[in-house]
Amino acid sequence: MIRDHETLNQLIDTLSRYVRDRLVPLESQVAEEDAIPDAVVEEMREMGLFGLTIPEEYGGLGLTMEEEVLVAMELGKTSPAFRSLIGTNNGIGSAGIVFDGTEEQKQKYLPKYASGELIGSFCLTEPDVGSDSASVKTTAVRDGDHYIINGTKRFITNAPRAGTFTVMARTDSSVKGAKGVSAFIVEAGLEGISLGAKDKKMGQAGSHTCDVIFDNVRVPADSLIGGVEGKGFYTAMKVLDRGRLHISAVSVGVAERLIDDALRFSMERTQFGQPICEHQLIQAMLADSQAETYAGKSMVMEAARKRDRGEPVSTEAACSKLFCTEMVGRVADRAVQIHGGAGYISEYAVERFYRDVRLFRLYEGTSQIQQIVIARNMVKEKQ
Amino acid sequence: MKILVAVKRVVDYNVKVRPKSDGTDVDIANAKMSINPFCEIAVEEAVRLKEKGVATEIVAVSMGPKQSQEQIRTAMALGADRGILVESDDALEPLAVAKCLKAIIANESPDLVIMGKQSIDGDNNQTGQMLGALTSMPQGTFASEVEIADGKAKVTREIDGGLQTVELTLPAIVTTDLRLNEPRYASLPNIMKAKKKPLDTTTPADLGVDTAPRVQTLKVEPPAERQAGIKVADVAELVDKLKNEAKVIS
């Protein structure tokens, strides 16, 4: 936790320089090779980027929500693949233990997540379970001092690098919904765990997802997060507000980057005898993008501060996620439009970002799930 | 071994500066300020010497307004152990800075002083040399390589047309050139730890230094705008123009 302006500025400055001077020049290489160079992974470890949200007593930075979204906005200014690499350790991959883990589990895993020695992945989604996340089919059956886990998890971010999986599995088959689901911390090396082929995605090359298959995997009973059955779904829900604000902030960062690229291009590109930024229809696209990005940024900052004050932000986080991720889609579309034919060519970053940002509207709750959360909260508050 | 590193607060190298409308100075109001890039190289070199076990303590010193603390914190985030700010809102010329450094050296007795060869704002390239003259310490300027052994510093200097290696008896002054090293990015945990490192503040008056300027700035103006070029029809015309108009070939 920083909460002091000078130190926070220094941290954001350093990160901003790292993004601009080191990561941005590597973007096309990462996209082409579908891999982040090992040296960069190591640098990100040394910089402490894997432990942004891990509490200080476990070796992380313990950033407040406001500080975290500022960092996420900086990381948004380059390929989302870089952010994705550190995303799970700072979010869903570690949060189960941060929020609900036993002291022993915290001691064992959090310092390793913070240093990046261990990558944590989060296994909730299944072939038949997505937005309806309480209907998890993967099972964990108690067998003496162990649980035996069976099931398939889908689109698992960072699974090929993961050292641990936070696995949502049904421990009580007689209970249909959320109450029958428990969360486990499962080490990746256990017998019976196998990975599917890397998913071929629309964008975000360099960030990898795949299926994770659990076939009679025996995990020690103390792998149950928090030591109590039936809490898994509620554990998963606790991380959501934070994750939604984080993705909102990344979306704002990417939007700022796209505006920067589009603005530069429009000032250099000449048509009808003048730079196209002088043409009013181009100006309209620039202005709309700027105004919407500013709106998104204001939303994220306000919601983050509210969460830091300890107030509930379920509605605000969902509003931010809905608005910012849809907004960056529109900004990316305009950035391509401003670039004209060049925007359709992969030499220009906007073509890549246009594909990359599509994911933001899908994961950590689709836009439609955000709408449902917002509307349900509205009705509940009026009742 | 103790190393003193001088760091200066300057306008960030990415900022496009413009002269003030009255031509008295450069307008840096609200501009982003950073550690001078050559000073950052100096800090990095000191940190590397500490990591190698050659140095035991690194003291970062800066002169300027109160906000120069930020640059000292940057140096501490990179690995300096403590900091000293000589606080002054005056425009400090190289001679005043060198005199302040001399006073700090008298208090701290460092074995090595590492500083940038020049700052990217004034571009004077004088402070290190003046400090050498004032303290009678040997100096190795424009360093691209520094080796410390047996109470001596072997400094490879970038000079016109090649490299020159000099051997200095410690305590000595080294000024850094661009190729000495590539500074690291401070780690985020170290940025937070830097807040807890000691930072002392003093003033030129406390050090007995007179900072009155010796140089008066008469006018600051932007460089002349480049004239548009012309297209030539063929190589013959180009050669003709180079020979008869530009007179750069004969």
Q: What is the pLDDT of residues B216-235, one digit of tens each?
A: 989 999 888 888 888 899 99
Domain end residue (candidates: A185, A211, A229): A229
CATH number of the CATH domain containing A125:
2.40.110.10
**CA neighbor of A151 nearest in space, from A171, A132, A177, A176:** A171
Flag if A4 and B186 touch (Cβ within 8 Å): no
Question: Across residues B165-181, what is the average pLDDT?
Answer: 96
Interface contact flag, A7 B192, Cβ < 8 Å: yes
- Which single residue is written with the structure tokens 């501009």? B31
Express each pLDDT in B101-118 by its tens digit.
Answer: 999 999 999 999 999 999
**Counting one residue from A and one from B, how many pairs have CB atoms under 8 Å apart?**
47
Please check whether residue B65 lies inside any domain of the structure.
Answer: yes
Given a contact cutoff of 8 angstroms between Cβ atoms, the answer to whether A93 and A237 are in contact is no
CATH code (residue A16): 1.10.540.10
Interface list for chain B against chain A, based on CB atoms closer than 8 Å: 34, 69-70, 73-74, 77, 185-192, 194-195
pTM listed for this prediction: 0.89
Per the CB < 8 A criterion, the answer to whether A72 and A84 are in contact is no
CA distance A309 to A312: 9
Residues A46, A154 within the same domain: no
Q: Which of A229, A256, A279 is the last residue of a domain?
A: A229
What is the extent of the structural domain holding B116? 2-225
Tell me, yes or no, whether B46 lies in a domain: yes
The ipTM is 0.83
CATH classification of the domain holding B161: 3.40.50.620
Best mutation target among B68, B71, B78, B192 (most A Cβ atoms within 10 Å) is: B192
Question: Residue B138: what residue type?
Answer: P
Residues A292 and A218 in one domain: no
B69 contacts on A by Cβ (under 8 Å): 6
Q: Which two tokens stand for residue A362?
A: 């899908």
Residue B19 dihedral angles phi and psi, to the nearest 5°: -70, 150
Q: Angle at Cα A6 formed by Cα A2 and Cα A7, nearest 5°?
A: 40
| One domain for residues A210 and A284 | no
If you average pLDDT over every residue of chain A, what do you get?
95
Predicted local distance difference test score (pLDDT) of residue A1 = 65
- CB neighbours (10 Å) of residue B160? 5
Q: Are residues A91 and A138 in the same domain?
A: no
Rounded Cα distance between A317 and A299, Å, is 9
Give the C-alpha separation, B60 to B70, whole Å: 12
Please state, rounded to an integer, the average pLDDT across all residues of chain B: 94
Domain count, chain B: 1
The verdict on a CB contact (< 8 Å) between A15 and B69 is no
Angle at A351 between CA A349 and CA A355, to 5 degrees: 115
From A229, A261, A289, the end of a domain falls on: A229
Q: What is the pLDDT of residue A4?
A: 85
Say whether both A165 and A90 belong to one domain. no
Comparing CB atoms, the residue among B34, B187, B195 nearest residue A7 is B195
Compute the CA torsion angle A306, A310, A314, A319 (nearest 10 deg).
10
Cross-chain Cβ contact A13/B187 below 8 Å: no
pLDDT for A86-98, tens place per residue? 999 999 999 999 9
For residue B43, is it within any domain?
yes
User: Of B69, B70, B189, which has the smallest distance from its Cβ to A48's Cβ?
Assistant: B189
Band of the pLDDT at A173, cuts 50, 70, 90?
A: confident
Number of domains comprising chain A: 3
Calculate mean pLDDT across residues A324-343: 98
Q: Which of B188, B195, B197 to mutate to test the interface with A (most CBs of A within 10 A)?
A: B188
Whether A140 and A184 have beta carbons less than 8 Å apart is answered as yes
A374 and A307 in a common domain: yes
Chain B residue with CA closest to A21: the answer is: B185
CA angle A147, A152, A153 (to 5 degrees): 100
Q: Choose the catalytic residue: A27, A74, A126, A364.
A: A364
Q: Closest residue of A to B74, CA-based?
A: A10
What pLDDT score was predicted for residue B126? 96
Are B187 and A9 inside 8 Å of each other by CB? no
Biggest alpha carbon distance in chain A?
A: 79
| Domain span including residue A96 | 5-115
Q: What is the mean pLDDT of residues B68-85?
A: 96
Task: State yes or no: is A27 an active-site residue.
Answer: no
CATH code, domain with A317: 1.20.140.10
Using a CB-CB cut-off of 8 Å, the residues of chain B touching A11 are 188, 191-192
Nearest CA to B182 among A299, A355, A22, A71? A22
Same domain? For A195 and A212 the reply is yes
Per-residue model confidence (pLDDT) at position B233: 92
- Contact (CB, 8 A) for A51 and A115: yes
Asked if the Cβ–Cβ distance from A61 to B189 is below 8 Å, we say yes
Q: Pick from A71, A104, A214, A114: which is nearest to A156 by CA?
A: A214
Q: What is the pLDDT of residue A133?
A: 83
My answer on whether A244 and A378 are in the same domain is yes
Same structural domain, A278 and A297: yes
Q: Which residue among B34, B70, B188 places its CB closest to the CB of A11?
A: B188
**Shared domain check, A265 and A334:** yes
A148 with A281, same domain: the answer is no
Q: Alpha-carbon distance B97 to A30, whole Å?
A: 46
SS (H, E, C) chain A: CCCCHHHHHHHHHHHHHHHHHHHHHHHHHHHHHCCCCHHHHHHHHHCCHHHCCCCHHHCCCCCCHHHHHHHHHHHCCCCHHHHHHHHHHHCHHHHHHHHHCCHHHHHHHHHHHHHCCCCEEEECCECCECCCHHHCCCEEEEECCEEEEEEEEEEEECHHHCCEEEEEEECCCCCCCHHHEEEEEEECCCCCEEECCCCCCCCCCCCCEEEEEEEEEEEEHHHEHHHCCCCHHHHHHHCHHHHHHHHHHHHHHHHHHHHHHHHHHHHHCEECCEEHHHCHHHHHHHHHHHHHHHHHHHHHHHHHHHHHCCCCCHHHHHHHHHHHHHHHHHHHHHHHHHHHHHHHCCCCHHHHHHHHHHHHHCCCCCHHHHHHHHHHHHHHHHC
CA A292 to chain centre: 21
Q: What is the pLDDT of residues A192-245, one digit of tens each?
A: 999 999 999 999 999 999 999 999 999 999 999 999 999 988 888 887 889 999
Whole-number pLDDT of residue B206: 95
Structural domain includes residue B231: no
Percent of chain A with pLDDT over 70: 99
In a domain, B230, yes or no: no
Instruction: Judge whether A114 and A54 are in contact, CB under 8 Å.
Output: yes
B101: amino acid identity, one letter: L
What pLDDT sits at residue A3? Answer: 74
pLDDT at A162 over 90: yes
Measured between CB atoms, which of A4, A43, A51 is closest to B195? A4
Q: Are residues A101 and A162 in the same domain?
A: no
Q: Is the pLDDT of residue B133 over 90?
A: yes
User: How does residue A2 score in pLDDT terms, banded at 50, 70 and 90?
Assistant: low
Chain A residue with CA closest to B71: the answer is A10
For B141-164, what is the mean pLDDT? Answer: 94
